[in-house]
Structure 1
């Protein structure tokens, strides 16, 4: 789905940080049919049908991670709100060439997320179709604390999940009567040392085929296919250690 802009308080942009950008780029391009181009600040942009779908930057860490950025109309005010609510500033507001301004934070539980204030670039230009990101969610053991923090920053309201067929407890972030993201609860399925985090979810059109392709390209399948109620899902690690969740959504829920 072609996207031309994002309302404030909406996840708008995802960036892969990787210690081996060349390997990561080759993997994701082969996996999703993406191509790459260089942004004016020298970072890499992933393209789907010549539309920007995600970003890629080098990381000094020993494994990859996907970062979620949330749209804001006032990055400085958002940064002030984050610290007032008990979060930490990882990267203060910074100009990203002429595309926009970005900052990175951790919530009080340690989950890393970003905020993006557009100048010339609003965020991903394609969303919620096979080969693109379809959902962003925070994964936490403490729903009330997360709801209080993100509610204070972005005005989100936490509600019980409304997707049909989902049997596990799940929550949604609502902004101005519109669902913009999710909140997934860490339970006994997660190792005890799993940190709180944000998760990037990709839309696919064949879960079994996707898993096989990911393995052939050097990824590692962690789980799947799993009936997620709204479709068949799987979790993989890319060759540089970055986790992604992908889902083949049932036809009646596709946009």
Structure 2
């Protein structure tokens, strides 16, 4: 499970790129009760989503030419420059070279060999998100990919993740965990995109799941406020009740009331 006791290779940040920060913030405020706090005039419109005074996500304007609205996960690294070399050696592409974010930390952003975007965060003053797995916070990440075996090789090479294949769904499912932490350190799933997904326009991407108190209520709230259904609330035995939709600007959002959730 996700935790704020961050270790190498674990998710420690997530942010939303969107064409309209204020409008997107209003959507997520209505959905999860988040409040937007600006990172300051020097931050170029970037801000933090707060819940009960804790940072639970972040948001900023789209800065890359041709980029669409999306959530980007960041994974912990002790050395963003070394991780960048590892990404290149494993066949990934560097989208943003390692750079300092004031005194908060150092970041870099990449695209994996199949085309999914992700990033890393090397903490300094800011360790990462201040709350996860609680209601209305990030609880899981999922990678949809066109080549699951190659994706597993890539992320294992870059982050030394422990990977466990599960007999789940028509194409299987792989659970990724921080190295040496066992099942308690699991944080992400890797799924092969089926042909029906590709025909419907799906592409390789990372997307988040947020824990909620009532999946049906939050899903209905999202649709009322302009979200587009990807799949409606459904039960996954032993996992929870979940749904997935596009926010009004096209970013993929998963929600789940976990069987063992908060």
For normalisation by structure 2, the TM-score amounts to 0.89
Match of 2:250 among 235, 241, 244: 241
Please give the alpha-carbon distance, in whole angstroms, between the structure 1 residues aligned to 2:62 and 2:235: 34
Where does residue 183 of structure 1 map in the other structure? 190
**Residue 53, structure 1, aligned to residue 52, structure 2:** no
What pairs up with 1:109-188 in 2 under 5 angstroms?
A: 109-161=114-166, 169-174=172-177, 175-176=179-180, 177=182, 178-188=185-195
The structural deviation recorded for 1:194 is: 2.4
Please give the alpha-carbon distance, in whole angstroms, between the structure 1 residues aligned to 2:2 and 2:71: 21
Match of 1:225 among 233, 238, 242: 233
The structural deviation recorded for 1:16 is: 0.1
Q: Specify whether residues 2 and 243 from structure 1 end up closer, same or farther in structure 2 by C-alpha distance, changes over 3 A only.
A: closer
For normalisation by structure 1, the TM-score amounts to 0.91
Bigger mean CA offset, 229-238 vs 101-110? 229-238
Number of positions where the alignment pairs a residue of Structure 1 with one of Structure 2? 250
- For the residue of structure 1 that corresponds to 2:197, the secondary structure is coil
The structural deviation recorded for 1:62 is: 6.4
**Residue 78, structure 1, aligned to residue 79, structure 2:** no
- For the residue of structure 2 that corresponds to 1:195, the secondary structure is coil
The answer to whether the 8 A contact 1:5-1:122 is kept is no
Structure 2: runs of 5 or more not aligned: none
The structural deviation recorded for 1:182 is: 1.5
Please give the alpha-carbon distance, in whole angstroms, between the structure 2 residues aligned to 1:161 and 1:2: 19
Where does residue 103 of structure 1 map in the other structure? 108
Please give the alpha-carbon distance, in whole angstroms, between the structure 2 residues aligned to 1:2 and 1:196: 22
Cα RMSD between the aligned structures?
2.0
The answer to whether the 8 A contact 2:138-2:208 is kept is yes
What pairs up with 1:10-25 in 2 under 5 angstroms?
A: 10-25=10-25
The structural deviation recorded for 1:101 is: 0.8
- For the residue of structure 2 that corresponds to 1:190, the secondary structure is helix
Structure 1: runs of 5 or more not aligned: none
Please give the alpha-carbon distance, in whole angstroms, between the structure 2 residues aligned to 1:223 and 1:53: 24
- For the residue of structure 1 that corresponds to 2:198, the secondary structure is coil
Please give the alpha-carbon distance, in whole angstroms, between the structure 2 residues aligned to 1:114 and 1:15: 10
- For the residue of structure 1 that corresponds to 2:133, the secondary structure is coil
